Structure 1
Amino acid sequence: MKKLLTLLAVLVFTAVSFAGQDPVVVIKTNMGDIYVELYPDKAPKTVENFLTYVKEGFYNGLIFHRVVKGFVIQGGGFDKELNYRKPTHPPVENESNNGLSNVRGTIAMARTSDPHSATTQFFINLVDNTYLDYGKNPQKWGYTVFGRVVKGMEVVDEIAEIPVMNVGWMLNVPVRPVIIEKIEVVKEFKK
């Protein structure tokens, strides 16, 4: 009976612990998988926005269209023919004043000069880019960090090594497409 109660306590603790964890998504690419833990407590609107696109399959077949070695890899807006995927939902409110910093391995929303213009595009920081944080520029608005890579950073680093070219107005486009085959929520994840 004591063993049964101990086993039951372990099972309940495990279920409660997992239920309290932050959501994890896997970005499946043609170069490998990148697991990202999301922070809905720090960036609730941004995480909700991102997960909406994930659940709709919006990212499937898009590419990392901008790779800047020593800076970021960026994706979530263009297919391999460099066509912009539309339509998008309305832009999400900037949540960069959330205490999170654009350090190596974090994921943040890309945007235009309008601080509240982020929709689908995101980037993963290759190095500490703290000058992208809230309060580090004249507008004060930064780029909203909403999670971090917890597994697969070697894939991110491998993507960063791909030679790039300029295609029309688009700069730093990988010479061979880095395809986001699918992004999905991971049901169970162990770090």
Structure 2
Amino acid sequence: MMKLSFLGIILLFFVGSFQLHAADEPVQVRFITNQGDIELTLDPVNAPITVANFLNYVDQGFYDGLIFHRVIPNFMIQAGGFDVNLQRKETAAPIANESTNGLSNTRGTIAMARTNDPDSATSQFFINVANNGNLDGHPLRPGYAVFGQVSAGHDVVFAISRMQTRSRGGHQNVPTTPVIIERAERVQQVVEE
């Protein structure tokens, strides 16, 4: 009985160590949109709360059918909150702001959208299409938390950023042609032997 307990503790230690290591590895997510695919590499080391929150939405299929509802050329493209009819989707609770994590809002990075309350981010995110260092957090001023970057589909991102927009349903900068996230999914990593 004592050996089994000891063996169980050792096994739990190794399983726990593997999970901890796995949580430190970059995670890839693919957005399959009607304009093309966008792949993201997320950074759970520097933005653990934000990445866990984002992956929870991805794993639930939350983003499927939502649109990029705010597109501003030479600034960013935003999604994660509204369907094609601009109906807001119900979200989980807001998360803590991780904008002082050392990651910067540079071209091609993904960050969380929020209200004036620094700790109000839920499901909405934006992809920077320019270097937007003014959005970075500082010790005395919270910013917008970067939690990854585009790893494939840059052309799709920049094509979306140049789309014609209009005001619609109380929202500005809505693409005239809806940009729909048909599916969001984790990209399975291939382990080389």
> Do the two structures share a fold, i.e. TM-score over 0.5?
yes
Task: Tell me how far 1:19 sits from its aligned partner.
Answer: 9.3
The alpha-carbon distance between structure 1 residues 38 and 189, as it changes in their structure 2 partners (threshold 3 A), is farther
CA–CA distance in 2 between the matches of 1:94 and 1:101?
Answer: 14
User: In structure 1, the residue corresponding to 2:167 is in which secondary structure?
Assistant: strand
Residue 166 (structure 1) aligns with:
167
Task: Tell me how far 1:188 sits from its aligned partner.
Answer: 2.2
The alpha-carbon distance between structure 1 residues 65 and 93, as it changes in their structure 2 partners (threshold 3 A), is same
Residue 141 (structure 1) aligns with:
142
Root mean square deviation, CA, Å: 1.9
The one of 99, 112, 119 aligned to 1:109 = 112
The one of 71, 78, 84 aligned to 1:80 = 84
Task: Tell me how far 1:122 sits from its aligned partner.
Answer: 0.2
The alpha-carbon distance between structure 1 residues 75 and 189, as it changes in their structure 2 partners (threshold 3 A), is farther
Residue 60 (structure 1) aligns with:
64
CA–CA distance in 1 between the matches of 2:62 and 2:56?
Answer: 9
Task: Tell me how far 1:49 sits from its aligned partner.
Answer: 0.3
8 A Cα contact 2:165 2:174, kept in partner: yes
The one of 40, 43, 52 aligned to 2:44 = 40
Map Cα deviations across residues 133-186 of structure 1 (whole Å, 9 max, x no partner): 0129xx600000000001100000010111000114211000010000111000
CA–CA distance in 2 between the matches of 1:141 and 1:59?
Answer: 26
CA–CA distance in 2 between the matches of 1:171 and 1:73?
Answer: 12
List gaps (5 residues or longer) in structure 2. 1-21
8 A Cα contact 1:73 1:126, kept in partner: yes
CA–CA distance in 1 between the matches of 2:81 and 2:49?
Answer: 19
CA–CA distance in 1 between the matches of 2:64 and 2:58?
Answer: 8
8 A Cα contact 2:66 2:79, kept in partner: yes
Return structure 1 stretches of 4+ with deviation > 6 angstroms. Answer: none
List gaps (5 residues or longer) in structure 1. 1-17
8 A Cα contact 2:100 2:137, kept in partner: yes
Question: What percent identity do the matched residue pairs reach?
Answer: 52
The alpha-carbon distance between structure 1 residues 19 and 141, as it changes in their structure 2 partners (threshold 3 A), is closer
Letter in 2 for 1:92: I
The one of 12, 26, 29 aligned to 1:25 = 29
User: In structure 1, the residue corresponding to 2:117 is in which secondary structure?
Assistant: coil
8 A Cα contact 1:24 1:189, kept in partner: no
1:179 aligns with 2:193: no
Q: Which moved more, 1:127-136 or 1:113-122?
A: 127-136
The one of 95, 101, 117 aligned to 2:98 = 95
Map Cα deviations across residues 39-72 of structure 1 (whole Å, 9 max, x no partner): 0000000000000000000000000000000000
Residue 125 (structure 2) aligns with:
122
Q: How does the TM-score come out when normalised to structure 1?
A: 0.85
Residue 15 (structure 1) aligns with:
none
Corresponding pairs, count: 171
User: In structure 2, the residue corresponding to 1:73 is in which secondary structure?
Assistant: strand
